Each structure stands twice: as structure tokens, then as C-alpha cells.
Structure 1
């Protein structure tokens, strides 16, 4: 058992390290792009087109992986899976053709910015990005196959290689225009898909064959589980798109500022939240099979909260310096740094809640219930849109970000209630609150101590300040957790 646990932690640690390197390369790339374009109409157009392309196809990648993981190892469902994939990817191909033919009209209708140059630029970039996003949908299959075979890191390694390639190209040719930047993203996305499929073929005997048996009852069940994910992911992406639409009407550069903040949150989610939840999903499926899910799901939430509270403190104390290193050069101003920092901080505060909600979503998915998370997402996305629209009228871009944070909190509360009603997984409220309140107290105490130390000891070098402050923050946080006798440090996955 000890050897097995060591292997598990080793895989998770390697996964986090690979993702960290990937995000590091991504940040280098974003830093160069920020220096070239700052907060400009060109970058607004790229970000708008990219959000649109992701909106169109993201549901396929997420849905295929989520539906296949509980079903892929069941031999009797192989033919049903092939029919399922034929339908899904056939629909994706149809969407690609439609949006390639009518992309300019779609941009004109959906954009809140009616500037002709913005619309022309966005539609041209959208044509490029549609190809890469369409091909990326096939990663839904490869991700499921690799994850079910515990080969998490092979997929991550392919992403690292292609991200390194795109970043290297942009470093060599730092003065790329916005079309060249889109093409680089497109080409490396194609390379990523090819690499992932090679890895999938070598890892598993599963081979996709075009089939369509509409009478297959198992196929109907797969589609029944998939359809709510379409709407759930779609609703979420639409809410992000509406955030972008609201930002596009708040002035030039507002979309870019929102995107810079999302890049930082994306990095946190990819390195920590994404890796841990990807790692936990197959475990949740097994926990359900051996009737240990109720106890373990609360443990998983406590673990991820403990990690993310530390991230919140870390960004609070060194986040601004980090943003200066990443963006503060060329056309990126100090005022933009302040706005990006504030927006990102609001987002970061909600990450523990969002991660906890996502773990509960995985519990529903592992039970082949995709409908409940969909209804929850639909309600929350509508709430997010309403709050963001109202608050943006009073506090501009901050209202958009705050709307997302408030919605995340409500989302966790509502899905927790549904968890108990649907599966009888009753949260021991007092015990759970005590465990998490100790973590929260440790986080607040750490923040107060570190901020005091920062006011007493001034370090002029930004890099040294980030390094020393981060080490001190982690040390103080762990010490306080031990003083409060929190058992989080003894938990095992």
C-alpha cells in the first residue's frame, strides 16, 4: 500500500511539474504578446475570436472525456462508444463548416463593438482559430483513453512540447503581427493533436471506427449523459462570452484586461485545480464502487481548499510583482497592471469555492448523472449574466469579474444541497466547517503576518522579493496549520 501511495504521489507531482513548465512557457508567450500589443483593438479582436471559437467546440472535448471515462473499460460498450463518437464528431464537422461560411455575419451579430476594423479583424482571426479548436475536440477521446489507463502525464507532456514550440517561435520572431500569432497557435494545436493520438494508440488497444447504430440502447444512454454536458459547458462558455461582450462595450482594451486576468486564473486552474481533479475523477469512480465516496469526497474538498487558500494568500502578497514581471513593458502601462491585479485578485478569492464545486460535479458525473450539474450550471450562468450586467453599469469591468465570483459562491451552495438530496451524501456540517475554518484561520493569520513583515523589511529586487516572500508564506502557513492541529498534512489520496 505504501509503495502504491508513493507511486500515486509521484505521478501527481510529475503532472504538476509538467503543467507548471507548460504554464511558464505560456506566460512567456503572453508576456511577449502583452509587450507587442498592450491593451489594443488588435488583441481585443484576437481574444474575442478565440472566445468565440472555444465556445463553439469546447463542449465536445469536455463531454467526450466525461462520458467515456466511466464506460471505456466496459467491453460490451465498445460498439456503442464508436457510434457515440461518430455522431459527436460528425456534429462538430458540421459546426465547423457553418461557422467558416458565416463567421463575419456571426461576429457582427454577437459583438458589442460595431467598429468595422474590429469586426473584420475578428472574423479573419476566427477563420484561423476555428480549425485548431475543431481539431482540439479530438483530444476528448485521447484524454479519456490516457486517463483511464493512468497515463495522465503523457497527455501533459505533449501539451508541454507544443507550448514550448509556439513560445520559442514567438521569442525568435517577437514582432509577430496578430495574424501570425493566430497561425502559430493554430499550427502548434495541430501538432498537439497528432502527438496525443500517437500516444493514445501506443497506450491502448481502443481504435475508433466510424459506426452508427441508432437502435443501440447503450448509445442512447451515452447520448442522454452527453446532452446535458453540451448545455452545461455551453451555458458556462456563453456566460464567459457574455462577459467578453460586456467588456467589449466598456472601451478599447477592456477585453484584453479581462483576458490577462483569465490567463493568471487559467494558470492556477491548470497547475493545481485541473491536475488534482483530473487525478481524482477515476478515484471518485472507484470510491463509488467500494462505497467509500461519502467520506472521501469531503476529504478531497478539504485538501484542495487547503492548497488554494495558500494560493490566495500568495497572490495577495506577491501578485502585483508577478504581473509586473509578466506584462510591465512595451505598450503595457502601470495603470493596466493595477486593473489586471484587482480583477485577478477578485477571481483568485473564488478559486477554493469553484474547485470544491467542480469536485462535487465529478461525483455526479461518476454516477452517470450529468443532468443535475447542467441544471445547476444553467441557473448559475444566468445569475452570473444578470449580476455582471447590473454591476458593470456601476463599477465597469470590476462588476463583470465580481459577478463571476458571487455566482461561484452561490453555485457551490446549490450543488452541495443537491448532492445531499440526490445521493444522500450528508455533509457533517459542524465537522466540515471546523476543518475548513481552521484552514481559513491559518490563511488569515499567515496573510497578516506576511503583510506585516513586508512593511518592516523592504526588498527592492522584484524577483528576490517574490522568491523570499513565497517561501516565508508557505512556511508560516504550514506552521500555523500544525499549531491549530489541522490533520490536512496527514491526509492521503
Structure 2
């Protein structure tokens, strides 16, 4: 398969994926801003986060770029001739589609029980009872996203294997567009009454239908491109003994359970959050502010590297594979460590600028900012762990990430309960950060054994230096913001934006000045690509 592709550089692929993902993430942010402005941290927003937990989990897990379906398809097709692609993809789609259709039907009928399982604390308050009723209705509406998630994930993998990166990366924006349109129409029809409690159910229903419509469009735009690439149609095919199908399933099955177990950590968090009014909505708003840069950089780093990892799976190529793993980890450190530090230092102005309007008030900003600080601590660990997981997938090993995820569930249950008791809602986020760190360390140890040794010093010394420089950058940003606010409060949007910009520039400048002196090849390559793009 790889021989039939036109050669395309890692930088070129990363540029395409980065631009497309940036567009998609910007629309996702605008969508969440619209939800925050209309609903704040009220009943409809709280309900949606419980109702979305299963459909959204499936859409992210199965339908997301770098998800198990995408990774399995790319890993297998990258090693096979193009003539085998269409039958293989059609067979996998038939099998997966049949299973997920049953899941869709189950979600419709079992919605009340699922909501009670995910959020047992809702029945303890009047606010919670209203949230529960709306959440059940929303889950039933969004149930078909289970089927769509599988189709979208297979489509992503198929198009990437066909050397198409733009459409898979940009297509999630359709979900955002439909939600924004739906909320816009709702606001125009109801005016100021849109925030009234008596219209919470209507608002929740509009939000659910808009989300489902976006998933449908996201899948439909992939279909023609997949057909034109000769990578399969909507034909049903039941040849499950076909070469390659078992290989896809060998990776897809354990990888799905592995990623699914990671999301079980989210369920644990939501169960505890259901005992805190407004916590679910606040977790979603804070999470998005972290997931936006994470999603962009994850696609830029992981999407181009996964086919390369797969092509270096032979033991004879392991030296080069280790070099590519280092590249992925250091690129993750160069981007996520300073971003995490600045997120911690500037959490309050970030939240106020992004969300504080309409029904989203100052109290909501303080709540979300407290969660964002903790999320920022774990930004590097989250993406670094994913780099290692993709290496195992490329080596045809989906079992190891599965076992690590199973262990992480045990730790998450312990830490989530302990930190929740001590810190409340921020403790729930901290438990996730700690579990991700444990998982990453386990994956490092297991990868060291699998590849017969890793160059630990070559990897961890530069990562430690990047961590230290990011810490100094975060302190510089915080001191800059504090100093500005001593002379100028800047409570307006433009004033807050200027304060945030100045503080961010100082922090990034400090990081860049220190990082440049490390003489890391990855930094030189990164800067060279930036110069090339600006010189065009």
C-alpha cells in the first residue's frame, strides 16, 4: 500500500493535518462558547454532559483520528497492496456496522438506566432530578451516533491510508456547525427567554439533535472521497476469512477495549461529579480548553508518525523506530510542556475571555479556572502516553495498552475517591493526571523490554530540561500578569485579551530563549520549518 502512495514529507502531512485540525477545533470552541452563553453551567448543559457520555465517548473512541479504528486500519493497510483495500474495508465495515447497530438500539431503550448508572447523585437534589429527565431524552436522540462513530473511524483510517489527510481532519467541524445553527435559531426564536428554566428541556433537545445531525454530515462527506480513492463502498461483504481482516480485528479489538477502559475513568469522575451541582458542565468547559490544543497537536504529531511507526515494525528497523519515537516525544515536550505551564499560570483570564458572556458569569469562570489549572498539569503526559500507545499498535500489539488501561482503572478509582474527598471537583481532574502518568511510565517500561532497550538518557535529559524551562516560563507569565494588573485591571474583553497576550508572549519568550540553547535537533527542525513557511 505504501509503495503506491505519492511520497509526502512528514512536515507536509503535519502541515495539512495541523491546518485542518485547527479549523475544526476553532469551530468546536465556538460551539462550546455558544453552549456556555446560552446555558452557562445550568440544567441543560449539565444534562448534556451526562447524556453525551456514551454517544460522545463512542464518537471520540471509535470515530476519532488516532482512535483504535483509525489506528488499526492505517496500520494494516500501510503494509498491504491497494488491491486488497476495498474488500478488506467493506468486510470490516459490515462487521462493525452490525455490532454498532445493536448498540444503538440498546442505548435507546436503556437510556434511563445508563443515566442512573453514570450519575447516581442526580436523584439527591431537585436540580439533579430535572437534569436526569433532560439527559435521558438527549441520550435517546443521540443514540445513532454509536453506529456513525464506527463508520467515521473506519473512514478516517481508510482515507489516511489513501494519503488523504485534509478531509478527515476538518470534517468534525460539521458537528460544531449544526449545533451552532441550532442554538442560533433557538436564541432568535426565544430571545432572552432562552436562558429561562422553563425552556431547559427544549434547549437540551435542540442541542442533542444538532449534535446528531453533525455526526451524520461528518460521515456523509467521507463517503464520496472513499469511493473515489478505490477504498471501498457501502457494499455489504461477509468474507470474514479474507486476508487482513483478522489482522485488523487483532489490533482493533484490544485497542478499543484499551481506549474504552481509559474512558471508564471518565465514568468514575462523572459518578462523583453528579453529587456536585454544575460540576459536569464545568468539567466539560475546562476540558475543552485543554483538548483544543491537545487535539490539534495530537493530530499533527501522531497522524504522520503512525504510518512511519508501522513501516518500521521489523526488528531490523528498530534503531530508526527508536529515533522516531524520540522525535514524537520531544515534539510533544516542545509543544505541550510550555502550553501546560501557561495554562496553569493564566487559567483565569483564559476562561474569562473564552466563556464569560451571556449566562456564563464570574462565579462560573472561577469554577472552570480551578479545573483548568489541574488539567494543565497533565497536558504533556496525556499526549506523551498516546505516542507510546501508537508504537504498540504499529508493532501489532494491542494487548499491552489494554492491560495497562485495565491497571489504570484500578488506580483511578482509588485516586478519584481520595482526591474528590480532599479537593472536590479539582480532585477529580487530578486523579486523571496521576493515572495518565502511571500509565505512561508502565508503557515506557514495557516498550523498553519489547524493543530490547531504550536510550533512556537520550530521551529523558532533554525532556527534563524542557520541563524546567517550561516551569520558568509559567512563573514569568504569572508575574507579568500580576504586575500588569497592579496598574491596570482591564476588565473589558479587549483589556483582558491584551493582558493575556502580553503575559503569554513573555512566558513563551523565556521558554524559547532557554530551549534554543539546548541544541536539540527537533527544535532546529521545528524552527527550520517555520522559517520555510514564512519565507514562501
1:167 partnered with 2:180:
yes
Aligned residue number for residue 388 of structure 1: 416
**Partners of 1:37 and 1:321 in 2: CA distance:** 21
Give 1:308-347 correspondences, 5 Å limit. Answer: 308-347=336-375
Which among 478, 481, 487 is matched to residue 454 of structure 1?
Answer: 481
**Partners of 1:228 and 1:430 in 2: CA distance:** 31
**Partners of 1:58 and 1:454 in 2: CA distance:** 36
Question: Is residue 52–residue 241 contact of structure 1 (8 Å, CA) maintained in 2?
Answer: no
Aligned residue number for residue 268 of structure 2: 242
Question: Is residue 364–residue 370 contact of structure 1 (8 Å, CA) maintained in 2?
Answer: yes
Which among 461, 467, 474 is matched to residue 440 of structure 1?
Answer: 467
- Deviation of the 1:254 alpha carbon: 1.1
Which among 189, 193, 198 is matched to residue 219 of structure 2?
Answer: 193
Question: Is residue 75–residue 306 contact of structure 2 (8 Å, CA) maintained in 1?
Answer: no
Question: Is residue 34–residue 327 contact of structure 1 (8 Å, CA) maintained in 2?
Answer: yes
Counterparts in 2 of 1:443 and 1:218: CA distance versus 1, 3 Å: closer
**Partners of 1:59 and 1:480 in 2: CA distance:** 37
Deviation string 1:165-209 (CA, Å, 9 cap, x unpaired) is: 543453454347121121112112211211122222233443353
Counterparts in 2 of 1:169 and 1:11: CA distance versus 1, 3 Å: farther
399-408 or 338-347, which deviates more:
338-347
Counterparts in 2 of 1:448 and 1:254: CA distance versus 1, 3 Å: closer
- Deviation of the 1:363 alpha carbon: 0.6
**Partners of 1:102 and 1:168 in 2: CA distance:** 29
**Partners of 1:471 and 1:204 in 2: CA distance:** 47
Deviation string 1:198-229 (CA, Å, 9 cap, x unpaired) is: 22223344335322245557544433332212
Question: Is residue 15–residue 300 contact of structure 2 (8 Å, CA) maintained in 1?
Answer: no
Give 1:210-249 correspondences, 5 Å limit. Answer: 210-215=236-241, 218-249=244-275
Q: Which secondary structure state, in structure 1, belongs to the residue aligned with residue 233 of structure 2?
A: coil
Aligned residue number for residue 499 of structure 2: 465
- Deviation of the 1:65 alpha carbon: 1.6
Unaligned runs of 5+ in 2: 1-5, 188-193, 195-201, 530-536
Counterparts in 2 of 1:211 and 1:21: CA distance versus 1, 3 Å: closer
1:71 partnered with 2:89:
no
**Partners of 1:312 and 1:455 in 2: CA distance:** 19
**Partners of 1:373 and 1:25 in 2: CA distance:** 32
- Deviation of the 1:444 alpha carbon: 2.2
Question: Is residue 26–residue 167 contact of structure 1 (8 Å, CA) maintained in 2?
Answer: no
**Partners of 2:426 and 2:436 in 1: CA distance:** 16
Give 1:11-26 correspondences, 5 Å limit. Answer: 11-26=13-28
Counterparts in 2 of 1:409 and 1:242: CA distance versus 1, 3 Å: same
**Partners of 2:328 and 2:247 in 1: CA distance:** 29
**Partners of 2:210 and 2:330 in 1: CA distance:** 40
TM-score using structure 2 length:
0.84
Unaligned runs of 5+ in 1: none
- Deviation of the 1:77 alpha carbon: 5.0
Q: Which secondary structure state, in structure 2, belongs to the residue aligned with residue 310 of structure 1?
A: helix
Aligned residue number for residue 198 of structure 2: none
- Deviation of the 1:391 alpha carbon: 1.8
Which among 104, 112, 118 is matched to residue 112 of structure 2?
Answer: 104
Aligned residue number for residue 95 of structure 1: 103
**Partners of 1:57 and 1:443 in 2: CA distance:** 33
1:255 partnered with 2:257:
no
Question: Is residue 29–residue 170 contact of structure 1 (8 Å, CA) maintained in 2?
Answer: no
Q: CA RMSD in A?
A: 2.5
1:203 partnered with 2:229:
yes
Give 1:268-347 correspondences, 5 Å limit. Answer: 268-289=293-314, 290-291=317-318, 292-347=320-375
Question: Is residue 55–residue 238 contact of structure 1 (8 Å, CA) maintained in 2?
Answer: no
State how many pairs are aligned.
Answer: 488
Question: Is residue 91–residue 237 contact of structure 2 (8 Å, CA) maintained in 1?
Answer: yes
- Deviation of the 1:377 alpha carbon: 0.8
Following TM superposition, the consecutive aligned residue runs of length 4 or more in structure 1 with deviations greater than 6 angstroms are none
Aligned residue number for residue 410 of structure 1: 438
**Partners of 2:445 and 2:406 in 1: CA distance:** 16
Counterparts in 2 of 1:64 and 1:21: CA distance versus 1, 3 Å: closer
**Partners of 2:509 and 2:59 in 1: CA distance:** 43
Give 1:49-64 correspondences, 5 Å limit. Answer: 49-55=51-57, 59-61=61-63, 62-64=67-69
Aligned residue number for residue 524 of structure 2: 490
1:352 partnered with 2:380:
yes
Which among 32, 40, 43 is matched to residue 41 of structure 1?
Answer: 43
1:400 partnered with 2:428:
yes
**Partners of 2:418 and 2:521 in 1: CA distance:** 42
Which among 367, 371, 382 is matched to residue 395 of structure 2?
Answer: 367
